[in-house]
Amino acid sequence: MNIIQGFDIPQVAVPSMNATHAEELDLLRNLLAALEADDAARAAELATAFAVHVEEHFSREERLMEQHGFPPYPIHKSEHDRMRPMVAELCADVDDAAGRAALAHFIREEFLPWLSSHVATMDMATAHFLSMHGVE
């Protein structure tokens, strides 16, 4: 069963951030399906896309926080920096069944719960601040 079925994350005050989160969930849904089907080629393609998406997602938020002088920027960025190497490493190691299983476990047990909590706390506050500075 695909864990993303019914999984939702809170909406924040910046529509572009909501769109990024929705894209990430769609990508994860497809990646988990490929991992569950043990479709190695598709899993590798989507794992690369996920790693790229995460980096673009985090970097965009960080640029906006810096650009608009968001005071807790270092705290928010440190949460991104904690997740970055795990995503990069696990997404790069899907050449065998063990690597694919590790990535699926990480997504289900670590990344999705982290994302939900991160959006409900860090992103919620960040988006509120950014929306007051005209960011959409």
pLDDT of residue 8: 77
Q: Is residue 7 part of a domain?
A: no
Q: Please work out, in degrees rounded to the nearest 5, the angle formed at the alpha carbon of residue 75 by the alpha carbons of 55 and 124.
A: 75
Range of the domain at 105: 25-132
Say if residue 70's pLDDT is above 60. yes
In this model, does residue 56 exceed pLDDT 60?
Answer: yes
- Residue 82 pLDDT greater than 70, yes or no: yes
Residue 128 lies in a domain: yes
Asked, for residue 36, whether it belongs to a domain, the answer is yes
CA distances from 11 to 28, 51, 57, 121 (A): 18, 22, 16, 11
Whether residue 41 lies inside any domain: the answer is yes
**Count of residues for the chain?**
136
The predicted structure's pLDDT at residue 18: 95
| pLDDT per residue as tens digits for the range 91-124 | 999 999 999 999 999 999 999 999 999 999 999 9
CATH code at position 71 = 1.20.120.50
pTM attached to this predicted model: 0.93
Q: Is residue 13 part of a domain?
A: no
In a domain, 118, yes or no: yes
Q: Is 95 inside a domain boundary?
A: yes
pLDDT confidence bin for 76, thresholds 50/70/90: very high
Structural domains of the chain, count: 1
